[in-house]
Chain A
Amino acid sequence: MPRPFPQPTREGYLPDLTLFSLRGFLIVALLFSVSSCRDESKVDIATREKILLLGNGGEPKALDPHIVSSVGDANILRSTFEGLVTYHPENDMLHEPGVAERWEANADFSEWRFFLRKNAKWSNGDPVTAHDFVYSFHRILHPKMAAPYASMLYFLKNGEAFNKGEIDDFARVGVKAVNDFELLCTLDRPAPYFPDVVKHTTWLPVHRGNIEKFGAMTDSYTEWQKPGNQISNGAFMLTDWRINAQIKVRRNPHYWDAANVKPNGINFYPIDNNFTEEKAFRNGLIHYTYTTPENLIEDYKKMENTPLRIETYNGSYFYRCNVTQAPTDNADFRRALAYSVNQEVIVKYVTRGGQQPAYAFTPPSEDGYHPPDVIHYDPDKALEYLEKAGYASGADVPEFTIILNTSEAHKSVAVAIQDMWKKTLGIKNVKIENQEWKVFQQTVLDINYDVARAGWIGDYVDPTTFLGMWVTGDSNNNTGWSNPDYDRLLRESSLLSDPAQRYAKLAEAESILLDQVPVLPLYWYTRVYLLHPDVKNWNPLLLDNHPYKHIDLQSSKTVKEGAQ
């Protein structure tokens, strides 16, 4: 049979993405202008009922504070559980009392006493006591539990030894319930920032009776974490969990500060795809998006009263270099690579989310640590180092590969860097290789790469959460880099209790790191998300760990509708 029309090829029908975003913008503008004509949206109803609707990235791995590690999982746990100290709604450098009313440290910050409030209750009405915390710390550190994030509790004396099975007696670990309402933590090393550390999800308490009703203390996959079963001590409790659909938490009537909890509940939506999430936001289905697609950022920036928020985030984007093999084993060569990357161009034209060019590894914090200002784009310096590394020109550099986990965003950055190395240094044979996430993780772990993309989000506000990983043999080092002076400085810093002195010591260590550049710092993260105007008291936070009980919902529409 003769074909009346030539068969269209697939290419011809692929949409032009620039046109897409333009149209996207027009539709956004249109929708925001007509949205008040539409019926009450889901968000309007939720605002009236004071239910916060949040996009939350992927589906949580678990809702057990001792086995999760992802940011999205921690967001949910922060609503249902409360630790000794909690996050301040406005400033991550400040502390909010949680279960502990107050706390004090000894002179060198190696012993901490937490005084628990007597009215703290579990969601079944049981009091929260110091014994609950001892039980929880025991549980997460127990070798059989195999909690992936147990190392957060290595701050406790003998915590590491117990976790590794070197000692069996938990009584030797540095935590003790002095009485029902006093908890004593003895640390492995002084940590003036310890209250920051205990805010982390790994330090949250669990209810012993609840855990053991559904299995042994160390079982990590029992029914206890399901809605209806889970007993928690936070402002909210888990009421619904449907995989890939939603997680709902509602007021915990027994919460000690229930009178001051603003929202009646929160729905967390695990929306993986950022385009879907953005559409859901425009559609009035959620109050907040976890992420924003990069190619829509410009459109949102241009909007009047834009819901777009761009905030500094406690994270660093960088490339690891394998220092155990050529060509990246040569420090001069690594310096050449570091100084030939124009970070300004990357954040301005590639990532476009207001990220900051990283002149160091640790992101600076306003009233805390300031890293040494070292890495800047400098083509002359880069060429000098290339020559010092023994290459007359970039053409002599042997072929090497940048590996990254498959993602358009990572790839764009890598392509830009590949181009910069080519233009500035004349290195022609840099390859880029995608690897699927788990394969990538294994490759990095095995140090089986030349240059590997990486990112690191700080667990608490202190430079040690960034600098600690470059110590010899740290499980997150994965570059093969080791420097005795660096290790010594970090060790020495941990013995200093005066913050200024300690920061100075850490800055000294960081300057070694930046001189040796086993890692090429690229930029410091920002959080880029969309927030509905109904959400009040949602403040920019460096760690992005919002304490939900303070967040209020008030309709922003009343005025607009009255005017119509």
Chain B
Amino acid sequence: METLRYVVSRFVQSLFALLCIITITFFLARLAPGGPFLDEKAVPEHLIEQMKRNYGFDKPLPVQYGLYLGRLVRGDLGPSLGNKGFTVNEVIAEGFPVSFMLGISGLVIALLVGVPVGVFAAANRNTAVDYSLMAFTMLGICLPTFVIAPLLGEILGLKLGWFDVALWENSSAWVLGALTLGLYYSAYIARLTRGSMLDVLSQDFIRTARAKGVPPGKVLFKHAFRGGITPVVAYLGPALAGLIGGSFVVETVFGLPGLGQHFIKAATNRDYWLINGTVTVFAVLILVMNFLVDILQGWLDPRTRSNK
């Protein structure tokens, strides 16, 4: 009962947050100077007026907002103004699977690299191995993706010829994209894992286990690991959302047709419905991820369940 009430209240909170995000985005996008119908070569005033009428932008803003919410409830995100002939639903339906695949592969790489590095560094704390690994991860955090991505393309794509450097169809460029994202996040995860493993390793129950003569490997993986991984799990929610929605740089560098590009281009094109659509999808994603992480965390760490 207690759990159910918790879940329901979290759900209502999320819904409220979502409504706020949708509302703020709607009005902020409209406040931005310029508009979707401006073009490099000037478009005559009477034509701009007509375009506004065609899309219903001549109505008062609150009315448009009401109509928008009405459509949103039915799952209709409206037409895209920058990709004429496509609805925002279609644009997102095409872009999301690409971003999702990039994000998931990136996350898998990040975990496969980050967690073992962190555990290994923690097990060898304050040794040369630990220092060099941590220096390396710091480098990974400091190097932005727009530096790593072209470098990976240059080395793994052009020099070694393992992957294609761009395009989507029949192209392996997405692997480079996933690798860029994965390596970037693995640096965070490694540092996070190391820190929390060190915390756990210094606790009494570990000392007891060691005193009982449990072999070091077993202490590390059986006793310490489950506790040590908790902060990483908490980080996974926002990380996955960030990986899926925030891969603009990677998508641009490798020419991948994901959601990240739409996220940015919609804003620069003043593609109002696409701005609202991508923000909504991204917001839902973050809220869902955080929700799931909360539940997963409770399962991993009994303490979060008892002292809620």
Contact = CB atoms under 8 A, between A and B. Distances in A.
Contacts of B73: none
B41 A441 contact: no
Nearest to A165: B46
Contact of A10 (B82, B94, B142, B257): B142
B139 interface: yes
A-B pairs with the 10 shortest C-beta distances? Answer: A438-B34, A244-B257, A62-B84, A146-B50, A245-B257, A280-B166, A475-B42, A245-B168, A441-B38, A146-B51
A441 B167 CA distance: 31
A441 B40 contact: yes
Interface string B144-171: 0001001001100111010011111111
A211 interface: no
9 contacts: A67-B84, A146-B47, A148-B43, A148-B51, A243-B83, A243-B257, A244-B168, A438-B269, A476-B42
A283 B84 CA distance: 32
Contacts of B39: 69, 148, 441
Contact of A27 (B86, B159, B258): B159
A279 B158 contact: yes
Contacts of B251: 244
A276 B46 CA distance: 39
Contacts of A7: 138
B168 A143 contact: no
Contact of A269 (B47, B84, B253, B255): B255
A279 B168 contact: no
Contact of B43 (A271, A437, A475): A475
Given A10-B142, A244-B95, A245-B257, A220 B54 contact: yes
B270 A438 contact: yes
A158 interface: no
Contacts of B253: 273, 275-276
Contact of A445 (B38, B165, B270): B38
Contacts of B91: 243
Contacts of B186: none
A504 B50 CA distance: 39
Contacts of A15: 147
Interface in B44-65: 44-48, 50-51, 54
A13 B147 CA distance: 9
A59 interface: yes
Given A148-B39, A280-B166, A442 B34 contact: yes
B255 A283 contact: no
B135 A5 contact: yes
A49 B168 CA distance: 20
Contact of B82 (A61, A283, A478): A61
A243 B86 contact: yes
B270 A276 contact: no
B206 interface: no
A61 B81 CA distance: 8
Contact of A439 (B34, B167, B254): B34
Interface in B97-129: 126
Interface residues of B, number: 66
B261 interface: yes
B158 A283 contact: yes
A246 B85 contact: no
B142 A13 contact: yes
Q: Which of B84, B91, B143, B170 lies at the interface centre, i.e. has the most chain A CB atoms within 10 A of its CB?
A: B84
B33 A445 contact: no
B35 interface: yes
B37 interface: yes
Nearest to B147: A15
Interface string A86-109: 000000000000000000000000
Interface residues of A, number: 70
A406 B188 CA distance: 32
A325 interface: no
A221 B85 contact: yes
B304 interface: no
A436 interface: yes
Given A146-B54, A150-B47, 19 more contacts: A4-B131, A13-B142, A27-B159, A42-B170, A61-B84, A143-B50, A144-B54, A146-B48, A148-B41, A148-B47, A221-B84, A244-B168, A245-B168, A271-B166, A276-B255, A285-B164, A438-B268, A475-B43, A476-B41
Nearest to A476: B42
A409 B258 CA distance: 27
Nearest to A248: B169
Nearest to B82: A61
B252 interface: yes
B79 interface: yes
B134 interface: yes
A306 interface: no
A142 to B, nearest CB: 10
A244 B186 CA distance: 28
Given A4-B134, A279-B165, A273 B252 contact: yes
Given A61-B84, A243-B83, A276 B166 contact: yes
B34 A246 contact: no
B135 to A, nearest CB: 5
B255 A64 contact: no
Contacts of B255: 244-245, 269, 271, 273, 276, 280
A442 B167 contact: no
A475 B139 CA distance: 52
A276 B165 contact: yes
A438 B83 contact: no
B101 to A, nearest CB: 13
Interface in A1-53: 4-5, 7-10, 13-15, 24, 27, 30-31, 38, 42
A283 B169 contact: no
A285 B158 contact: no
A143 B170 CA distance: 43
B84 A285 contact: no
Residue from B95, B134, B167 having most chain A Cβ neighbours under 10 A: B167
A215 to B, nearest CB: 10
A69 B40 CA distance: 9
Interface stretch (A222-230, A347-355, A514-522): A222-230
A283 B35 contact: no
Contact of B157 (A10, A246, A283): A283
A272 to B, nearest CB: 6
A279 B47 contact: no
Contact of A437 (B126, B258, B261, B268): B268
Contacts of B126: 4
A475 B83 CA distance: 25
Nearest to A9: B142
B166 A226 contact: no
A524 B1 CA distance: 75
A282 interface: yes
A245 B169 contact: yes
A475 B44 CA distance: 6
